[in-house]
């Protein structure tokens, strides 16, 4: 019996009465589902449809005029129907910058998992991870002070239009994380990733304010509101770079950003999407609260500091009790259950894993597989009260679930005593400045 198989024999699927992680679903190991998810995505070159990609419609591009309201109508018509209308609108499939970062990490995690389990594979997951990391470097946004990227498709907004080269801190944060994860395999990755700090400081207007510091979500961000989760992911970017280079300036920036966000935690433990809350139709929605908590958890992991322990405890209690059902079903926000979104589920699997709550992470994973899994490595977009949107989005669904399952699998393996990590023979190691 292989190490992987012996590990599975001691674990059960989670339920209301079961304590512990789960590593199989309906007789199929989660590692096999992850393998199929990566296979589905790899066969399509990690290219597909995405949330909010309606402006990539060739039908829209063929119109002899450009009108903001027409653009918005098409963008929303593509995004919201219960069936996938993208083929009707001739929406182009693309590779997403943030999604590529998630796929790079997922492939690297799976490479490390298989090494720890002593398993051979026909797929070189390390080579896949590195090829995706190389793509991030080759397709980064140009003309800025450091490494950065964005969605790579046009976005129509009420106050302007986002262009393919426009970078944002959320996409950049995950791409930077991917390069730093791949750092043991090529010294060029961390060297480039470090420059993302300059992008955030100079291009996204890092500035100190009462109670801490702020950064912008993207270029030309209005000063009438502040997007909380993007600030948190900017702080996480600084923490990730600090973890590799130990530059105290990066840690100081992260601390000040998180101080400001901690001060704006609501009494019930969550965070609104924006400050002021009235500036967005979103309230304390699920996956954006997950982003915020992920940043605080990462800060504590890297620094060992108890600075945000109370913030984390209150936030995790709200996250679990208000934004999830006891069976692991993700609620939309603090007041609405539906729609139940694949991105919320995947983010939660990763966040509960990072928090060390593998039992509840497994519970969310099981709910997701029962409700949003099509089989053969393909995931659905959303479950509404009376129907399920069975569209598969490459970044929103596939990349996030591959990343979440890979983080979960490796954490479970480590909890069982397996050594899961970087290749000990890697050429480079952590550096300091």
Q: 142-153, pLDDT tens digit by residue?
A: 999 999 999 887
**Tens digits of per-residue pLDDT, 384-417?**
999 999 999 999 999 999 999 999 999 999 999 9
Whether the predicted pLDDT of 14 surpasses 80: no
Whether the predicted pLDDT of 13 surpasses 60: no
pLDDT at 9: 33
Whether the predicted pLDDT of 430 surpasses 90: no
CA distances for 359 relative to 17, 66, 413, 418, angstroms: 11, 51, 13, 18
Q: Express as a percent the part of the chain with pLDDT over 90.
A: 81
Whether the predicted pLDDT of 200 surpasses 90: yes
Q: Express as a percent the part of the chain with pLDDT over 70.
A: 93
Domains and CATH numbers, the chain: 3-13+26-53+92-415 (1.50.10.20), 54-91 (no CATH)
Rounded Cα distance between 350 and 365, Å, is 10
Q: Which helix (H) or strand (E) holds 24?
A: strand 24-25
Whether the predicted pLDDT of 341 surpasses 70: yes
pLDDT at 155: 80
Side-chain-side CA neighbours of residue 142 (13 Å):
3
User: Per the structure block, which two tokens stand in for 276?
Assistant: 């002021």
**C-beta separation of 128 from 107 below 8 A:** yes
Nearest residue to 148 (alpha-carbon basis) of 191, 87, 193: 193
Looking at residue 218, what DSSP letter applies?
A: B
Indicate the pLDDT class of residue 20, thresholds 50, 70 and 90: low
Is 240 exposed, middle or buried, given 0-12, 13-18 or 19+ CB atoms closer than 10 A? buried
pLDDT at 164: 73
In the beta sheet, which residues pair with residue 379? Answer: 373
**C-beta separation of 339 from 329 below 8 A:** no
pTM, two decimal places: 0.91
pLDDT at 3: 38
User: Which runs of E-coded beta strand occur in 212-368?
Assistant: 212-214, 226-227, 274-275, 340-341
Lowest mean pLDDT among 60-64, 131-135, 208-212: 60-64
pLDDT at 7: 37
Is 432 exposed, middle or buried, given 0-12, 13-18 or 19+ CB atoms closer than 10 A? exposed
pLDDT at 160: 77
The rounded mean pLDDT for the chain is 91
């Amino acid at each position: 019996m292989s190490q992987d198989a012996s590990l599975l024999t001691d674990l059960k699927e989670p339920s209301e009465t079961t304590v512990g992680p789960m590593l199989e679903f309906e007789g199929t190991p989660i590692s096999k589902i992850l393998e199929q998810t990566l296979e589905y995505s790899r066969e399509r070159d990690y290219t597909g449809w995405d949330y909010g990609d309606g402006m990539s419609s060739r039908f829209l591009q063929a119109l002899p005029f450009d009108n903001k309201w027409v653009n918005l109508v098409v963008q929303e018509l593509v995004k919201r129907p219960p069936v996938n209308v993208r083929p009707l609108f001739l929406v182009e499939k693309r590779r997403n910058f943030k999604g590529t970062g998630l796929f790079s990490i997922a492939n690297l995690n799976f490479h490390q998992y298989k090494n720890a389990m002593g398993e051979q594979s026909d797929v070189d997951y390390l080579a896949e991870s590195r090829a995706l990391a190389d793509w991030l470097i080759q397709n980064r946004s140009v003309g800025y002070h450091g490494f950065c990227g964005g969605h790579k498709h046009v976005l129509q907004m009420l106050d302007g239009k986002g262009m393919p080269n426009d970078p944002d801190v959320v996409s950049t944060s995950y791409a930077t994380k991917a390069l730093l994860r791949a750092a043991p395999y090529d010294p060029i990755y961390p060297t480039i990733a470090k420059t993302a700090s300059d992008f955030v400081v100079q291009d996204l207007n890092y500035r100190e304010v009462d109670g801490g510091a702020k950064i912008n979500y993207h270029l030309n961000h209005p000063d009438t509101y502040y997007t909380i989760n993007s600030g948190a992911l900017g702080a996480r970017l600084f923490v990730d770079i600090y973890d590799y280079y130990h530059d105290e300036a990066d840690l100081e920036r992260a601390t000040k950003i998180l101080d400001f966000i901690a001060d704006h935690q609501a009494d019930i433990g969550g965070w609104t999407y924006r400050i002021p809350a009235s500036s967005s139709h979103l309230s304390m929605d699920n996956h954006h609260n997950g982003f915020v908590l992920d940043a605080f958890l990462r800060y504590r992991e890297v620094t060992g500091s108890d600075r945000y322990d109370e913030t984390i405890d209150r936030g995790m209690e709200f996250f679990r009790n208000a934004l999830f059902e006891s069976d692991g079903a993700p609620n939309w926000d603090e007041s609405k259950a539906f729609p139940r979104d694949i991105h919320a589920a995947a983010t939660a699997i990763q966040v509960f894993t990072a928090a060390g709550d593998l039992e509840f992470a497994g519970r969310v994973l099981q709910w997701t597989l029962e409700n949003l899994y099509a089989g053969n490595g393909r995931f659905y977009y959303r479950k509404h009260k009376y129907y399920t949107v069975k569209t598969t989005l490459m970044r929103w669904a596939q990349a996030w679930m591959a990343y979440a399952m890979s983080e979960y699998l490796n954490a479970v393996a480590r909890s069982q005593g397996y050594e899961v990590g970087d290749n000990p023979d890697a050429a480079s190691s952590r550096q300091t400045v």
